[in-house]
Every structure is written in structure tokens, then in C-alpha cells.
Amino acid sequence: MKHKYDIAGIKIALNYHYDEYLSNNIEHYRIDDFESVDHEISVRLMDHIDEPVEHSFRQKNPYVIKRDHETVMYAKTSKNIVRELFTIQNDYQSIDILINPTLHTNASEMEYAILSVNFMEIAMRHNFLPFHASAILYQDQAVLFSAPSQTGKSTHARYWKQIFPEVQFINDDKPLLKIEDNDIMVYGSPFSGKSSININTKAPLKAIVFIRQGTTNLMRPIQGDEALKELMKNMLRPDDEKVWDDMIKVINAIMEDIPMFVLEATHSVDAAKTAHDIIFGG
């Protein structure tokens, strides 16, 4: 399937094979096929992928080769068979992805993960900060709940939905944060983890809540080094130095303007009530 999409203002053409994670999801971002795009990602399935002959400057997965105007990255199995290979041209303007589906237990999930990783790299080059969190829309503002995987961020967001039916999920895994007109805006994208829960919208960021499992519901504000540590732990980190400079601008704006909290939370709606009352002054 090859179509064009506008994701957070990034116009991109995607050519992919499996629809398991993108069906009833990516269609909300689709634009007319005659529109021009800034990036193109194309996936090809191959039962054999030749290993590049050039020397990689990494000695383990993923292997990386730098050429003029392009970068080649590839990963191998324990038997030294190439299972996927990316050719990235002109700083992510064009990405050609080869996947050997016979070497993956779930080729559909792998394709979705690879598309997500490459889109996040593109997003960072458009000054977006991809952040590991569940982002909700409430009272026309975004609230982010961040926690390690499988420790309750999505569950906590659903408690908000249970109490306040008007809540919508902007993105349940990696919302995109960007500075716009002195605000931090939160964008949805079709890359939102296995749940595929997202909407094509944006909203100003109200607060970030870092959730920890607890036996009671206590929430406290954090600032300074503690807040910075939590931000760094949950952001997608770029390799490119210039991209890092742009991400630091977003981090500094969050540190200056956005309330951040740590919530020691139980698995109950009471945790959501506690967070709501502190953030929105209930």
C-alpha cells in the first residue's frame, strides 16, 4: 500500500505491506496522492538480503555504514544473516527498508516498529520531541502520563476517561512535542504502540505526570535536576548533534513553563482523581 499522509504537519509518502497495526488508524492522516511530500519511506520484503561489503564502524547490531549522502544500517541474526536493512538518503528524505519476513516471528509487528522508528527520526528533524507517554486531551489541553512500559501509564489515562467521558487519547505511546508560538504543543501520530490509540489533533501541554506504582495516591511537584532526569529518561534521544541542539530547546521550554509531577499511584480511579484535582484545581 502506497499513500501520502500529513502527520503533525510532516508530509510523507509511505509504502508498506502489512495493515494489522495501521488499519483504522493511519487513514485519519491521509492526504491526496497528488500532493507533494518532504519524505518517503518504502518497505520491501525479501527472503534474502545481501550484507554490504563495506566496513561498519559498529561491531554489533545495528551495523552502520556511512556513504556520500546516505547511511546504511542493518541488523543480523545470531547466525550472521541480515534480517533488515535501511538505506537512508539525504538526511531522511528517502528511506528504503528491506525486511526478511522469514526471520521474524511477527513480520507485521516488525514492519510497524521499523516505520515508527524512522518516522520518529524524521519528526526530530522537524523539531519535534517524541516522548514516551500516554497523552490525553481534556478541556482543550494535553496532559501526559509517563512511566516505564507495563507500569500503568495507559491504565491511569483510562481512569481519566472513566471519570471524565469527554477525555480523548491524543497518543497512547509516543506523542510529539513541539514549541509553537511560545507554547508546547502535543501532536498525535499513527505510531502509538500496539494499541494504535491516537487522534489527528494537537493541543497545548498542560502538565506532565511521571507515574510510579504505590500503595497510596500522593502527587508532588518536581523541578530542577529531578525533573530533567525524568524528561531525559523518557524522551527519544537523537544521535545527530544538531538534532540534539533542537531537542534541548524543547526540553528547556518544558522545564521553564510546564508543571511536572511525580504520582505515587494505586491502580484505581482515585489516582486519577488525585492527579486531576492538583492539575486543574478541583
What's the pLDDT tens digit per position in 6-18? 999 999 999 999 9
In the prediction, which pLDDT does 82 show? 97
Per-residue pLDDT of the chain (282 residues; tens, 9 = 90+): 899 999 999 999 999 999 999 998 999 999 999 999 999 999 999 999 999 999 898 889 999 999 888 999 999 999 999 999 999 998 899 999 999 999 999 999 999 999 999 999 999 999 999 999 999 999 999 999 998 876 678 999 999 999 999 999 999 999 999 999 989 999 999 999 888 899 999 999 999 999 998 899 999 999 999 999 999 999 998 888 889 999 999 999 999 999 999 999 999 999 999 999 999 985
Is 159 found in the same domain as 116?
no
CB 220 within 8 A of CB 230: no
Q: Is 45 exposed, middle or buried (0-12, 13-18, 19+ CB in 10 A)?
A: middle
In the prediction, which pLDDT does 282 show? 56
Residues near 171 by beta carbon (within 8 Å), at least 6 away in sequence? 134, 135, 186, 187, 188, 189, 192, 197, 198
Is 223 found in the same domain as 203?
yes
* Of 274, 250, 8, 25, the residue nearest 145 (C-alpha): 274
Is 142 found in the same domain as 110?
no
Is 141 found in the same domain as 75?
no
Identify the domain boundary among 90, 124, 158. 124
Is 233 found in the same domain as 276?
yes
Of all residues in the chain, the percent with pLDDT exceeding 70 is 99
Residues near 240 by beta carbon (within 8 Å), at least 6 away in sequence? none
Q: Extract long-range pairs of 25-34: CB within 8 Å, 24+ residues apart.
A: 25/190, 25/192, 25/196, 25/198, 26/190, 28/190, 28/199, 28/200, 29/5, 29/189, 29/190, 29/200, 30/3, 30/4, 30/5, 31/4, 31/5, 31/6, 32/4, 33/3, 33/4
CB 114 within 8 A of CB 97: yes
Number of compact structural domains in the chain: 2
Is 147 found in the same domain as 120?
no
Identify the domain boundary among 96, 124, 152. 124
Identify the domain boundary among 124, 157, 179. 124
Torsion of CA 179, 264, 238, 255, to 10 degrees: 40
CB 202 within 8 A of CB 41: no
Spatial separation of the C-alpha atoms in residues 64 and 87, rounded to whole Å: 10
Spatial separation of the C-alpha atoms in residues 40 and 34, rounded to whole Å: 14
Strand partners, 149: none
Is 155 found in the same domain as 240?
yes
Does a cis peptide bond (omega within 30 degrees of 0) precede residue 62? yes
Strand partners, 212: 264
| Cα distances (Å, whole numbers) of residue 165 to 153, 158, 196, 235, 259 | 18, 10, 19, 29, 24
Residue 109's domain comprises: 2-124
Is 239 found in the same domain as 159?
yes
Residue type, 115: L
Spatial separation of the C-alpha atoms in residues 83 and 74, rounded to whole Å: 8
* Of 130, 227, 116, the residue nearest 174 (C-alpha): 130
In the prediction, which pLDDT does 94 show? 97
In the prediction, which pLDDT does 131 show? 97
Q: What is the pTM of this model?
A: 0.94
In the prediction, which pLDDT does 1 show? 80
DSSP H or E stretch at residue 82: strand 82-89
